[in-house]
């Protein structure tokens, strides 16, 4: 039973503190669309997506109106296309991406994720076709998001895929150079990718999932910041308790929306992802939470400890509010999507190296970071390898979403618009790692992977 005081608190969080449900994401299995004919495969996936998701946006809008809770995005995730399309034997999957884009526009969602491949231990011919198709696919579409998983804690790192993905990121940047290289904002490279992530660009519908499922991602950095204002100067025990209580309330809101959306769409409820996902709006920033904790700027000494504290207590509060917490669940630190992070990066308080250290304790990794457009592909691969190694050794999800902005260098900015925001071009270590990446092969899994 939700009490009158909880309703009052929730209304206050929505009206004054930027609380929102960041996304309702419908996961759709495409395995039953398999066909040896590419045209028929495209017809089948278009039909299934537009049938299953035809009411997704309408129901989301109804819930917004009835509950007064902003639902920022309505999205779709699908079976990784490298798996679903393998039977076509096609030499390009660009037409599939265009079909997905058309289907997403037909049902009115913001993004569709799952133009993806899972190559942590090796690549199939279909995986290679998909990876080679990514630059052109993202250049020709607006709503399609792509991801590639290149490692896990159980399998190690596929360094051939790491090397190739550095090239793919740069090719994608070049093909969308006229739009600030925005194609790269829709491409993420994972280690330990999860099957039920509702957040883009990394969402895909895992093969262990039901045929169709509803996953909800909540968000509330502004709510956490406002809660911490009430305990300025208090000790860390009080700080942690405040974050836990706040995360509990935020998750309860997500649970309510998820269950109601599941019922109205007649689709099973999957998980709540309680990640704190910032926006470019002032007051809705992870960096401002750090400042409220006592740091002058994000990136100052103590930032990694502050993020670890935040991430852990968000999880602790969330799991008490719902038995279905999943996805990534913690705190995102995307530079371009967080006004406070943008300011910290602009003034030099936040560097790529500090962000990498922070990724050891955050939800994902190096997210929405703009770098010079002349950065070599091997350097991008080296950054991917570093981030994947953190995930592999620490048994956590890590990812890289870098945007090499063609034609721009350090000190300039790039504008993406909407939730993607804008970003300063950050400097990258210019010493070469080309020979290291060129070795190829596979980095074996760490010794703890044998625990069973």
**Tens-digit pLDDT profile for residues 345-384:** 888 888 989 989 988 887 778 888 999 999 999 999 999 9
**Tens-digit pLDDT profile for residues 66-92:** 877 788 889 999 999 999 999 999 999
Backbone angles phi, psi at 388, to 5 degrees: -65, -35
Position of tokens 């092969």? 441
47 band by pLDDT with thresholds 50, 70 and 90? very high
**Residue 4: predicted pLDDT:** 46
CB 318 within 8 A of CB 251: yes
CB 356 within 8 A of CB 299: no
pLDDT at 218 over 90: no
DSSP helix/strand/coil, 134: helix
**Residue 19: predicted pLDDT:** 67
319 band by pLDDT with thresholds 50, 70 and 90? confident
248: nearest Cα among 223, 228, 285, 214: 223
Going by C-beta distance under 8 Å and a sequence separation of 6 or more, which residues neighbour residue 336? Answer: 185, 280, 342, 368, 369, 370, 403, 414, 416, 420, 421, 422, 423
**Residue 124: predicted pLDDT:** 96
Please state which of the ranges 49-53, 161-165, 183-187, 338-342 shows the lowest mean pLDDT.
Answer: 338-342
Q: What is the DSSP string of 330-399?
A: SB---STT-HHHHHHHHTTSS-HHHHHHHTTSSSS-EEEEEEETT--HHHHHHHHHHHHHHHHHHTS-EE
pLDDT at 7 over 70: no
Alpha carbon dihedral 187, 165, 299, 414, in 10-degree steps, equals -50
Query: What percentage of the chain has pLDDT greater than the value 90?
Result: 55
Sign of CA dihedral 44, 46, 51, 56: positive
Q: Beta strands 156-158 and 442-443: pairing type?
A: antiparallel
**Residue 452: predicted pLDDT:** 61
d(CA 101, CA 160): 29
395: nearest Cα among 195, 207, 151: 151
**Tens-digit pLDDT profile for residues 111-144:** 999 999 999 999 999 999 999 999 999 999 999 9
Q: To the nearest whole number, what is the mean pLDDT of the chain?
A: 89
Task: Show the domains of the chain with their CATH numbers.
Answer: 26-191 (3.20.70.20), 213-374+395-450 (3.20.70.20)
**Tens-digit pLDDT profile for residues 414-432:** 888 777 778 889 999 999 9
- Burial tier of 127 (Cβ tally within 10 Å: 0-12, 13-18, 19+): buried
d(CA 80, CA 117): 6
As a whole number, mean pLDDT of residues 26-54 equals 96
**Residue 9: predicted pLDDT:** 57
For residue 72, the number of C-alpha atoms closer than 13 Å in the C-beta half-sphere is 21
Backbone angles phi, psi at 283, to 5 degrees: 90, 0
User: Looking at per-residue confidence, does 4 or 414 come out higher?
Assistant: 414
CB 94 within 8 A of CB 172: no
d(CA 37, CA 42): 9
336 band by pLDDT with thresholds 50, 70 and 90? confident
As a whole number, mean pLDDT of residues 270-299 equals 83
Position of tokens 């198709």? 133
119, two tokens:
């190559």
Position of tokens 């190690």? 156
**Residue 137: predicted pLDDT:** 97
2 band by pLDDT with thresholds 50, 70 and 90? very low
As a whole number, mean pLDDT of residues 313-334 equals 82
**Residue 178: predicted pLDDT:** 92
**Residue 71: predicted pLDDT:** 83
pLDDT at 10 over 70: no
172: nearest Cα among 190, 147, 149: 147
**Tens-digit pLDDT profile for residues 141-174:** 999 999 999 999 999 999 999 999 999 999 999 9
pLDDT at 343 over 80: yes
**Tens-digit pLDDT profile for residues 181-200:** 999 999 999 999 999 888 88
If phi > 0 it is left, if psi is from -120 to 50 it is alpha, else beta; for residue 181 that is left
Position of tokens 């034609």? 407
249, two tokens:
């309330």
d(CA 199, CA 197): 6
Q: Within 10 A of 3 (CB to CB), how many other CB atoms are there?
A: 8
**Residue 417: predicted pLDDT:** 76
d(CA 377, CA 165): 8
447 band by pLDDT with thresholds 50, 70 and 90? confident
401 band by pLDDT with thresholds 50, 70 and 90? very high
Query: What percentage of the chain has pLDDT greater than the value 70?
Result: 94
pLDDT at 409 over 70: yes
């Amino acid at each position: 039973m939700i009490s009158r005081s909880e309703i009052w608190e929730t209304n206050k969080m929505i009206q004054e503190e930027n609380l929102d449900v960041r996304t309702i994401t419908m996961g759709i299995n495409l395995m039953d669309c398999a066909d040896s004919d590419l045209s028929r495969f495209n017809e089948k996936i278009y039909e299934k997506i537009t049938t299953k998701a035809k009411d997704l946006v309408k129901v989301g809008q109804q819930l917004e109106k009835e509950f007064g809770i902003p639902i920022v995005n309505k999205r779709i995730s699908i079976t990784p296309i490298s798996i679903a399309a393998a039977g076509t034997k096609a030499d390009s999957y660009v037409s599939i991406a265009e079909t997905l884009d058309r289907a997403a526009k037909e049902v009115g969602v913001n993004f569709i994720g799952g133009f993806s491949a899972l190559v942590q231990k090796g690549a199939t011919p279909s995986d290679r076709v998909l990876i080679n198709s990514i630059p052109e696919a993202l250049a020709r579409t607006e709503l399609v998001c792509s991801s590639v998983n290149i490692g896990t804690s159980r399998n190690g790192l596929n360094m051939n895929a790491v090397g190739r993905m550095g090239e793919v990121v740069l090719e994608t940047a070049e093909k969308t150079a006229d739009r600030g290289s925005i194609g790269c904002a829709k491409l993420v490279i994972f280690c330990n990718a999860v099957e039920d992530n509702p957040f883009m660009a990394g969402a895909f519908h895992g093969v262990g999932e039901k045929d169709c499922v509803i996953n909800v991602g909540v968000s509330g950095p502004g709510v956490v910041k406002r809660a911490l204002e009430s305990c300025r100067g208090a000790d860390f025990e009080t700080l942690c308790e405040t974050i836990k209580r706040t995360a509990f309330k935020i998750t309860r809101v997500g649970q309510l929306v998820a269950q109601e959306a599941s019922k109205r769409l007649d689709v099973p409820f999957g998980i709540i992802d309680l990640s704190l996902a910032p926006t470019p709006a002032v007051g809705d920033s992870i960096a401002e939470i750090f400042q409220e904790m006592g740091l002058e700027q994000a990136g100052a000494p103590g930032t990694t400890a502050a993020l670890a504290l935040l991430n852990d207590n968000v999880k602790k509060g969330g799991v008490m509010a719902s038995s279905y917490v999943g996805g990534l669940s913690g705190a995102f630190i995307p530079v371009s999507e967080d006004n406070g992070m943008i300011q910290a990066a602009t003034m030099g308080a936040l560097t790529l190296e500090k962000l990498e250290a922070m990724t050891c304790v955050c939800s994902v990794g190096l997210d929405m970071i703009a770098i010079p457009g002349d950065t070599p592909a091997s350097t991008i691969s080296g950054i991917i390898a570093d981030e994947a190694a953190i995930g592999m050794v620490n048994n956590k999800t890590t990812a890289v979403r870098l945007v090499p902005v063609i034609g721009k260098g350090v000190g300039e900015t790039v504008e993406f618009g909407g939730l993607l925001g804008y970003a300063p071009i950050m400097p990258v270590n210019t010493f070469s790692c080309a020979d290291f990446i060129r070795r190829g092969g596979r980095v074996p899994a760490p010794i703890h992977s044998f625990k069973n």
